[in-house]
């Protein structure tokens, strides 16, 4: 009788990376071989040349995952680490989802994130049913007053181009940071809505203190921002709900996890589009909530809980509403709407022109979503899967990172409103430019013509919701704070 070689687990395999790559994961015996290999590495088998000190066998499964995911370069890194630091190094690696980068099983086919998004160079575009909007004068304060709309401040990310941009003095006349401005604007709109009550003073603190507020943070800024808010007394808000963005490793063009100094794997936030599952707990705390406003702090003109936008999405019974701007600036990690499709652009597309017919709009991190739509998504597996599989490939030099954008959800909506605005001041990599943009918007509100760029104007959060109703200022001196 012959011997079934597929069940022979004693087959010799050399300890070389090219030999690991020959493993056929369609055969059951391969997994037995893989377990033997990992155990040998963990226990420092004499035939293995990578490691000089025994690694606890509890890391055997981790080593199997690295080999199966073609991340064997990590074993070479491990060989160069001081003996006393190897256990600590392996412990940190446990948080990396290697399978997600290389080969995640989706439905009945193999959805490979790296190969799908990068090697195949697929166009990162999608379509949606869109309603264009430019004018919106009516306002809806009732949704805010009755706490039927929650606010989610998007404060995560790496801030790699402008570190600490949310907490730094960016050059405004008031010296306030972006986070302070947004929190004070939020307090202002809540106080405005409280004027509907007969006893304003009695209701003010209660309604402000327990308003549904969530703040999205990253591992890099979570501690610093929470300490800042605590120092500010949380701006009188007592029920802030914190969401920490998940993280993914940065990879190189070979699909291998990239390490920096001290053998630390470079991790990057997965993006704001990854927070929807974490939002369930926040939504469940406020059963009365009908809408959510997702607001990034990178637009200094952004208005938390904009009553005009709330009126528009409510009146149109839309699933989503997003503010957009026309711009000539193409940024590699932004979503644009052009020629009836959404697209992440790294450079000018040949189809883009300055003609309004082929209008290109950049989506701001200023999105309103219907809670009923989010609840329906839970039972619509096709849409949920489609959203879960959408990632954007962001190239930073020779490195690659994958992100989800909050606006990706527009792809699975039935009706989305894109509201075009001229009011923006983008705090991305040049704070001076953002401050000038904000000043120019405020000058337009105050009808200040013929001024110089260095003549800065700042409308404080207490006056932010007055907009163009503000009176013209005569004989102004600069810098001007209203």
What pLDDT digit, counting tens, does each position of 420-438 carry? Answer: 999 999 998 889 999 999 9
**Residue 355 pLDDT > 80:** no
**Residue 288 pLDDT > 90:** yes
**Residue 94 pLDDT > 80:** yes
Mean pLDDT calculated for residue range 147-154: 96
pLDDT at residue 478 in the model: 87
pLDDT at residue 473 in the model: 75
pLDDT at residue 10 in the model: 37
Query: Across all residues in the chain, what is the average pLDDT?
Result: 80
pLDDT at residue 465 in the model: 82
**Residue 326 pLDDT > 50:** yes
Query: Considering only 113-122, 140-149, 214-223, 239-248, which range has the smallest mean pLDDT?
Result: 113-122
**Residue 149 pLDDT > 60:** yes
CB 40 within 8 A of CB 67: no
Mean pLDDT calculated for residue range 17-26: 57
Query: Considering only 57-61, 106-110, 140-144, 410-414, which range has the smallest mean pLDDT?
Result: 106-110
**Residue 270 pLDDT > 80:** yes
pLDDT at residue 201 in the model: 47
**Residue 475 pLDDT > 90:** no
pLDDT at residue 55 in the model: 58
pLDDT at residue 238 in the model: 92
What pLDDT digit, counting tens, does each position of 393-404 carry? Answer: 888 888 888 888
pLDDT at residue 117 in the model: 56
What pLDDT digit, counting tens, does each position of 434-471 carry? Answer: 999 999 999 888 888 778 888 899 999 888 887 656 77
pLDDT at residue 95 in the model: 84
pLDDT at residue 456 in the model: 92
Minimal CA–CA distance to 116: which of 101, 98, 96, 97? 101
Query: Considering only 58-67, 240-249, 362-371, 406-415, which range has the smallest mean pLDDT?
Result: 58-67
What are the structural domains of the chain?
Answer: 17-95 (no CATH), 130-481 (3.90.550.10)
Of the ranges 16-30, 139-153, 325-339, the best mean pLDDT one = 139-153
**Dihedral sign (CA 468, 471, 476, 480):** negative
User: CB under 8 Å, gap of 24 or more: what pairs does 448-454 form?
Assistant: 448/472, 448/473, 448/476, 451/478, 454/478
pLDDT at residue 200 in the model: 44
**Residue 311 pLDDT > 90:** yes
pLDDT at residue 13 in the model: 44
Residue scoring higher pLDDT (204 or 209): 209
pLDDT at residue 75 in the model: 84
Confidence of residue 85 (pLDDT cuts 50, 70, 90): confident
| Nearest-angstrom CA–CA distance, 467 and 192 | 14
What pLDDT digit, counting tens, does each position of 121-137 carry? Answer: 555 677 888 989 887 78
What is the pTM (predicted TM-score) of this model?
Answer: 0.84
pLDDT at residue 48 in the model: 44
**Per-residue 3-state assignment (H helix, E strand, C coil) for the chain:** CCCCHHHCCCCCCCCCHHHHCCCCCCCHHHHHHHHHHHHHHHCCCCCCCCCCCCCCHHHHHHHHHHHHCCCCHHHHHHHCCCHHHHHHHHHHHCCCCHHHHHCEEECCEEECHHHHHHHCCCCCEECCCEEEECCCCCCCCHHHHCCCEEEEEECCCCCCCCCCCCCCCCCCCCCCCHHHHHHHHHHHHHHHHHCCCCCHHHHHHHHHHCCCEEEEECCCCHHHHHHHHHHCHHHHCCCEEEEECCEEECECCCCCECEEHHHEECEEECCHHHCHHHHHHHHHHCCCCCEEEEEECCECCCCCCCHHHHHHHHHHCCCEEEEEEECCCCCCCCEEEECCEEEECCCCCCCCCCCHHHCCEEEEEEEEEEHHHHHHHHHCHHHHHHHHCCCEEEEECCEEEEECCHHHHHHHCCCEEEEECCCCCECCCCHHHHHHHHHHHHHHHHCCCCCCCCCCEECCHHHHHHHHHCCCCCCCCCCEEC
pLDDT at residue 346 in the model: 53
What pLDDT digit, counting tens, does each position of 159-199 carry? Answer: 666 678 899 999 999 999 999 999 999 999 998 887 654 44
Query: Considering only 33-42, 87-96, 267-276, which range has the smallest mean pLDDT?
Result: 33-42
Confidence of residue 30 (pLDDT cuts 50, 70, 90): low
What pLDDT digit, counting tens, does each position of 205-231 carry? Answer: 456 889 999 999 998 899 999 999 999
């Amino acid at each position: 009788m012959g011997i079934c070689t597929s069940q022979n687990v004693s087959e010799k395999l050399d300890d070389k990376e090219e030999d690991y790559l020959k493993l056929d994961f369609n055969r059951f015996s391969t997994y037995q071989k893989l377990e033997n290999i990992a155990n040998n590495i963990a226990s420092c088998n004499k035939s293995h040349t990578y490691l000089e000190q025994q690694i606890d066998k509890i890391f055997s499964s981790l080593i199997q995952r690295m080999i199966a995911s073609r991340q064997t370069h990590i074993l070479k890194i491990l060989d160069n680490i001081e003996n006393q630091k190897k256990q600590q190094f392996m412990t940190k690696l446990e948080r990396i989802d290697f399978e997600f980068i290389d080969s995640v099983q989706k439905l009945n086919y193999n959805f490979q994130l790296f190969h799908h998004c990068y090697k195949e160079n697929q166009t990162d575009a999608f379509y949606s049913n869109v309603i264009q909007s430019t004018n919106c004068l009516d306002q809806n304060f009732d949704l805010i007053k009755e706490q039927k709309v929650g606010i989610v401040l998007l404060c995560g990310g790496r801030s790699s181009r402008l570190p600490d941009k949310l907490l730094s003095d960016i050059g405004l006349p008031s010296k306030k940071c972006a986070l302070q401005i947004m929190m004070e604007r939020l307090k202002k709109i809540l106080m405005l809505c409280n004027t509907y009550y007969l006893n304003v003073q009695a209701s003010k603190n209660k309604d402000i203190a327990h308003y549904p507020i969530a703040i999205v943070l990253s591992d890099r800024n979570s501690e610093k921002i929470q300490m800042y808010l605590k120092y500010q007394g949380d701006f009188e808000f007592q029920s802030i709900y914190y969401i920490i963005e998940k993280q993914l490793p940065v990879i190189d063009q070979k699909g291998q996890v990239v390490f920096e100094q001290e053998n630390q794997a470079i991790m990057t936030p997965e993006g704001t589009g990854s927070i929807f599952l974490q939002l369930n707990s926040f939504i469940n705390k406020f059963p009365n909530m009908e809408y959510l406003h997702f607001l990034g702090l990178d637009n200094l003109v952004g208005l938390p809980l904009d009553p005009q936008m709330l009126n528009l999405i409510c009146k149109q019974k839309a699933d989503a509403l997003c503010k957009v701007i026309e711009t000539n600036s193409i940024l590699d990690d932004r979503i644009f709407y052009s020629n009836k499709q959404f697209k992440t652009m790294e450079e000018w597309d040949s189809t883009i022109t300055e003609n309004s017919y082929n209008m290109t709009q950049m989506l701001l991190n200023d999105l309103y979503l219907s809670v009923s739509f989010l609840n329906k998504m839970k039972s619509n597996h096709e849409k949920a899967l489609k959203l879960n599989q959408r990632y954007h490939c962001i190239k930073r030099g020779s490195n690659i990172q994958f992100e989800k954008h909050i606006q990706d959800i527009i792809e699975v909506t039935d009706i989305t409103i894109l509201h075009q605005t001229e009011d923006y001041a983008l705090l991305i990599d040049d704070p001076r430019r953002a401050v000038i943009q904000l000043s120019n918007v405020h000058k337009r509100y105050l009808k200040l013509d013929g001024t110089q760029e260095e003549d800065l104007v700042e409308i404080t959060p207490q006056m932010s919701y007055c907009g163009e109703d503000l009176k013209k200022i005569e004989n102004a001196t600069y810098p001007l704070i209203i």
